[in-house]
Structure 1
Amino acid sequence: MKRLFVLPVMAAVLLLGGCLPSIGPDKEEVIQETEEQVEETVMIPDVQVKDTFYRTLLPLKKSASRGLVVSNIHTKYDIGEAEEGLLRLSAQHFDPKNYFFQEGQYIDKATASAWLARSSTNEAGLNPPEAKGEDAEESPIYLAHIIEQNYLTLTDDKKVRLSGVSIGLALNSVYYDKGGKETEISDAVLEKQGIAMADKIISRLRAKEGFQDIPIVIGLFKQEKRNAIVPGAYFATAFADKGKTSASGWKEVNERYVLFPIPADIDNYRDINTKFNSFKQDIDEYFPSFVNVIGKGFFKENQMESISIDIPIQFFGKSEVIGFTQFLTDKVKNYFPNIDVEVSITSVNGPEALIVKEAGSDEPFIHIYGY
């Protein structure tokens, strides 16, 4: 059984050799004891790229159940969002200024596989027993994957310890049986099943030595269909404080991704879709041959917070790429002034240019590959 240890810290100052001047400490070395109780030296980077980003213990330790994610989650988009979305939920409880991130180390591959199984094949299985014939649709596999994230802190007496755990439950919105038949699962059923499974997982974690006083964040993630080109999203979250064997305070997570352009008859995004189509029309007028412009918008509380736009082109000269990138930068500033924007320009040769603009900023970051 995995134990949690409180460990001493050793400060370290890294100096550059040769004639270069010292730039001061950029990492802090700590001693971390592994499950086998062997001491290892790890480092905490001093640089934090953004206030909303967690600093990660180095060298990176892969998730104990990482090998399961590719086989259990339908698309690469869902794989990324299941992890990134859980980071956003975690930040509401574990402040990135004070906590350090580490991939999950306490639910190993064998344990995760057992929990993901049907209860008819493994007594620890959280999915319903398999049914046959007409009853098969009544017992789909709800739980596809379990994402674990660990959050660590440095104490006042300079010790590092596990201080929080987040668990994401990736749930199937569509169940595909062995014959390929699709069974859609309603949001109400997903929520009911997810909450019941969350309480079982919290209770099992509490039974582990050292987990009694570890706060646990739970998130329920709805996977998209296999052929989806936008990710699913978390739709509910709760918190189990120290000593609690079940989650409380369940609340809705109002997040989703939308692909642009969208059909004109979808009222919820009419204004934004009109703006995106105008942006696309300006590109079509600039570029005489066909350009397929696709946008992926991220919405939180019904407001678009960011959009990533992919533009494949057929330019053959760098001067054309430079001119087109400058043109696009101006359009991005005009059409999307108050949201985060990332525009990726590609060709058959690979990436050509990147434009990144933060919400409210007048000066986007521009990079043209090869320059």
Structure 2
Amino acid sequence: MKRLFVLSIISAVLLLGGCLPSIGPEKEEVIQENEELIEETVMIPDVQLNDDFYKVLTPLKKSATRGLVVSNIYTKYDIQEAEEGLIRLSAQHFDTKNYLFQEGQYIDTATASAWLARSSTNKEGLNPPENEGGDAEETPIYLAHIIEQNYLTLTDEKKVRLSGISIGLALNSVYYERGGKETTISDKELEKQGIAMADKIVSRMRAKEGLQDIPIVVGLFKQEKRNAIVPGTYFATAFADKGKSAPSGWKEVNERYVLFPAPADIDNYREINTTFSNFKQDIDEYFPSFVNVIGKGFFKDNRMQSISIDIPIQFFGKSEVIGFTQFLTSHIIKYFPNIDVEVSVTSVNGPEALIVKEAGDDEPFVHIYGY
């Protein structure tokens, strides 16, 4: 049975990852009928401010597996990127103008826990059985978490129905044994295991009622080591069209986060690393008591798309914060004219200033907290 949602008119504004401006009192109200035939009132946004974001059904229905994410994914950066990266992959198949977003509703906690287990402890487990000797090098846990996202469309009959599912497999690049031993998993092995698990998961999703003809996007996510300060990324994706029991057409996803200043031996990022170092040097010369500047660049197909810069300061006066923010703004325009930039200035008192510039803009958005 496919889940259908009966539509009537009101309004609301909600964007996944976007801002929430004041639009007005109008809202678009949706009556959602669940499998027990109980109607629930939810809302669809009337306004979409950015084509990069999906409209989201509200109130939000949390994924049944959300409670597992904190214990299974090592860092907050990976938690965020595993979800946001899967949205980017999904947009290649489910365009943001015609599809609505909802967190996954078809893989419940019990199912996810069973799939994440070792096959020796649960017959549904996708991770390999543990050796009798407990050798972590031979039997690491590959699959750490499963992310599900649902994509819905509005029909001519003014109903909203499930029209796509995305599944992200968060995979361990390092396996930490209970005794503290670390086993690094090669990229080749990670890809091999991830593809095999993706085949099984899509086949199992097809066995669920109503999902036989729903297109499914699959992404393989390589999570970073514990205590990493940059997130991991998706490295492969495939698509299972209607009725297909396994994903096909696996493609490389060329995305990466790089911490700046970067090591000198990273040739692919030498130019941007020099730019960032010059930016940092200007700050150090202007404010000799300065502590540190840390940048995180996001690269897609070997081109930097955006950079976020964190700057902790030790200034005490608000006039110093204002002067420093003015200095930063002019240098951001000078050094990063053609990429998206977000600069956060903080102190022991909390956030002090925020500077946001989109690629190509001459005038950044600048906010000094307390003004």
Q: Which TM-score bucket, shorter chain as reference?
A: over 0.9
Cα distance in structure 2, aligned partners of 1:40 and 1:99? 20
Change (3 A) 1:31 1:133: same
* Equivalent residue, structure 1, for 2:10: 12
Q: How big is the shift at 1:162?
A: 0.6
* Equivalent residue, structure 1, for 2:27: 27
Change (3 A) 1:276 1:324: same
Q: Identity of counterpart residues, as a percentage?
A: 82
Q: Which stretches of structure 1, 4 residues or more, deviate above 6 A after TM superposition? A: none
SS in structure 2 of the partner of residue 124 of structure 1 = coil
- Deviations, residues 166-187 of structure 1 (Å, cap 9, x unaligned): 0000000000111010000000
- Deviations, residues 29-52 of structure 1 (Å, cap 9, x unaligned): 111012332101110111223110
SS in structure 2 of the partner of residue 58 of structure 1 = coil
Q: Point out the more displaced range, 115-124 or 31-40.
A: 31-40
Cα distance in structure 2, aligned partners of 1:240 and 1:86? 15
Q: How big is the shift at 1:24?
A: 6.9
* Equivalent residue, structure 2, for 1:145: 145
Are 2:178 and 1:167 equivalent residues in the alignment?
Answer: no
* Equivalent residue, structure 1, for 2:249: 249
Change (3 A) 1:313 1:218: same
Change (3 A) 1:130 1:285: same
Cα distance in structure 2, aligned partners of 1:265 and 1:204? 45
Whether the 8 Å CA contact 2:11–2:43 is kept in 1: the answer is no
Whether the 8 Å CA contact 2:10–2:26 is kept in 1: the answer is no
1:301-320 to structure 2, matched below 5 A, reads 301-320=301-320
- Deviations, residues 100-139 of structure 1 (Å, cap 9, x unaligned): 1111111000000000000000000000001143743111
Cα distance in structure 2, aligned partners of 1:13 and 1:141? 46
Q: Point out the more displaced range, 35-44 or 87-96.
A: 35-44
Give unpaired runs (5+ residues) of structure 2. 13-22
* Equivalent residue, structure 1, for 2:348: 348
Q: How big is the shift at 1:265?
A: 2.4
The number of residues matched between the two structures is: 361
| Cα RMSD (Å) | 1.3
Whether the 8 Å CA contact 1:217–1:238 is kept in 2: the answer is yes
Q: Point out the more displaced range, 270-279 or 129-138.
A: 129-138
Cα distance in structure 2, aligned partners of 1:8 and 1:366? 43
Cα distance in structure 1, aligned partners of 2:134 and 2:114? 27
SS in structure 1 of the partner of residue 136 of structure 2 = helix
SS in structure 2 of the partner of residue 238 of structure 1 = strand
Give TM-score, length-normalised by structure 1: 0.95
Cα distance in structure 1, aligned partners of 2:241 and 2:11? 37
Cα distance in structure 2, aligned partners of 1:112 and 1:315? 48
Whether the 8 Å CA contact 1:26–1:45 is kept in 2: the answer is no
Whether the 8 Å CA contact 1:214–1:242 is kept in 2: the answer is yes
* Equivalent residue, structure 2, for 1:47: 47
* Equivalent residue, structure 1, for 2:177: 177
Q: How big is the shift at 1:320?
A: 1.1
* Equivalent residue, structure 1, for 2:104: 104
Cα distance in structure 2, aligned partners of 1:144 and 1:265? 31
* Equivalent residue, structure 2, for 1:331: 331
> 1:223 is aligned with what amino acid?
Q
Q: How big is the shift at 1:267?
A: 1.4
* Equivalent residue, structure 2, for 1:361: 361
SS in structure 2 of the partner of residue 251 of structure 1 = strand
* Equivalent residue, structure 1, for 2:261: 261
Q: How big is the shift at 1:13?
A: 6.4
Q: How big is the shift at 1:4?
A: 2.9
1:38-117 to structure 2, matched below 5 A, reads 38-117=38-117
- Deviations, residues 250-293 of structure 1 (Å, cap 9, x unaligned): 00000000000012222121111110000000111111203200
> 1:334 is aligned with what amino acid?
K
Cα distance in structure 2, aligned partners of 1:310 and 1:370? 19
Give TM-score, length-normalised by structure 2: 0.95
- Deviations, residues 145-192 of structure 1 (Å, cap 9, x unaligned): 000001111111111111100000000000011101000000000101
> 1:108 is aligned with what amino acid?
D
Whether the 8 Å CA contact 2:164–2:215 is kept in 1: the answer is yes
* Equivalent residue, structure 2, for 1:240: 240
Cα distance in structure 1, aligned partners of 2:66 and 2:36? 20
SS in structure 2 of the partner of residue 138 of structure 1 = coil
SS in structure 2 of the partner of residue 136 of structure 1 = coil
Cα distance in structure 2, aligned partners of 1:158 and 1:115? 36
Cα distance in structure 2, aligned partners of 1:186 and 1:227? 20
Change (3 A) 1:26 1:252: farther
* Equivalent residue, structure 2, for 1:191: 191
* Equivalent residue, structure 1, for 2:19: none
Cα distance in structure 2, aligned partners of 1:116 and 1:317? 52
SS in structure 2 of the partner of residue 133 of structure 1 = coil
Cα distance in structure 2, aligned partners of 1:355 and 1:77? 21
Whether the 8 Å CA contact 1:26–1:47 is kept in 2: the answer is no
* Equivalent residue, structure 1, for 2:122: 122
> 1:233 is aligned with what amino acid?
T
Whether the 8 Å CA contact 1:164–1:214 is kept in 2: the answer is yes
Cα distance in structure 1, aligned partners of 2:39 and 2:243? 29
> 1:65 is aligned with what amino acid?
T
